[in-house]
Chain A
């Protein structure tokens, strides 16, 4: 019954590695997002996709590449991980401008 799910929940990896986080929503929404929450709990939008098209791409290093294979999925691939990438990453979805529903988050720790 999970509305927005993310995997994995925890990710611990070494600097320089490449990793992916997956997100799926079963709400039939047309828009999906990736947010980053830093250690001070500040949440910042990274990307937004509407009907598989990228519509928002904030100032994010190009080591981060989102991929939306279909409307229900938005994955985040990160190349050459750096210490500063350690954070909690949240996926969310919405129907147009309406309420956004968030996933449980993926806590990424880069050692």
Chain B
């Protein structure tokens, strides 16, 4: 069953701009994770935010989590062409495995 739903499905921006992707989910979670997938490659873990955390930073990435709204956002600041990839949110509940959303395809042009 699908848990996370990313929005937008596709995003095109210029280098230097910020990119914001949103994720909504349906049930309670232990943590929410964001992954990046470059074309034809495996998934790379970006950031994990636990259910008792509201915001987390990692380099140019900022993730927020609102458990009352069951939503999360991923902000990439000062984007680069190398950020072009698909971004997935995935929710984790104890006793289960990660449940992924459909992803947001980000295109950054120079």
Q: Does A100 contact B (CB under 8 A)?
A: yes
Given the known inter-chain contacts A41-B86, A43-B88, please indicate yes or no for A99 contacting B100, CB distance below 8 A.
no
Q: What are the residues of chain B within 8 A of A42 when measuring CB–CB? A: 2, 100, 102
Q: Which residue of A lies closest to B102 (CB)?
A: A42
| Number of residues from A at the complex interface, CB < 8 A | 22
Indicate which residue in A40, A45, A103, A105 contacts B98 across the interface (CB closer than 8 Å): A45
Within 8 A of A (CB), among B34-55: 35, 37, 41-45, 48
Q: Is the interface of A mostly helix, strand, loop or mixed?
A: strand
**Cβ contact within 8 Å between A100 and B100:** no
A105-B41 CB under 8 A given contacts A45-B97, A48-B97, A99-B48: yes
Q: Chain B 87-99, CB within 8 Å of chain A: the 1/0 string? A: 0101010111111
* Residue count of chain B within 8 Å CB distance of chain A: 25
Is A101's CB within 8 Å of the partner chain B? yes
What does DSSP make chain B's interface, helix, strand, loop or mixed?
Answer: strand
A107 → B minimal CB distance (Å) = 8
Chain A proximity of B103: nearest CB distance (Å): 6
Query: In the complex, what distance in Å separates the CA atom of A90 from the CA atom of B97?
Result: 14
Report B-chain residues with C-beta under 8 Å of the C-beta of A48.
Answer: 97
Name the residue on A nearest B46 (C-beta). Answer: A99
Closest residue on chain B to residue A31 by CB atoms: B97
Closest chain A residue to B105, Cβ basis? A41
Complex formed: what's the CA distance from A104 to B95 in Å?
25
Alpha-carbon separation in the docked complex, A43 to B36 (Å): 13
Contacting pair B42 A99 (CB below 8 A): no
Chain A residue at smallest Cβ distance from B35:
A102
Query: B67: CB under 8 A from chain A?
Result: no
The reply to whether the CB of B79 lies closer than 8 angstroms to some CB of chain A is no
User: With a CB–CB cut-off of 8 A, which chain A residues contact B77?
Assistant: none
Q: Chain A's nearest CB lies how many Å from the CB of B87?
A: 11
B33 at the interface (CB under 8 A from A): yes
Closest 10 CB pairs of A and B: A45-B97, A43-B100, A102-B43, A104-B42, A102-B42, A48-B97, A105-B42, A99-B45, A56-B97, A99-B48
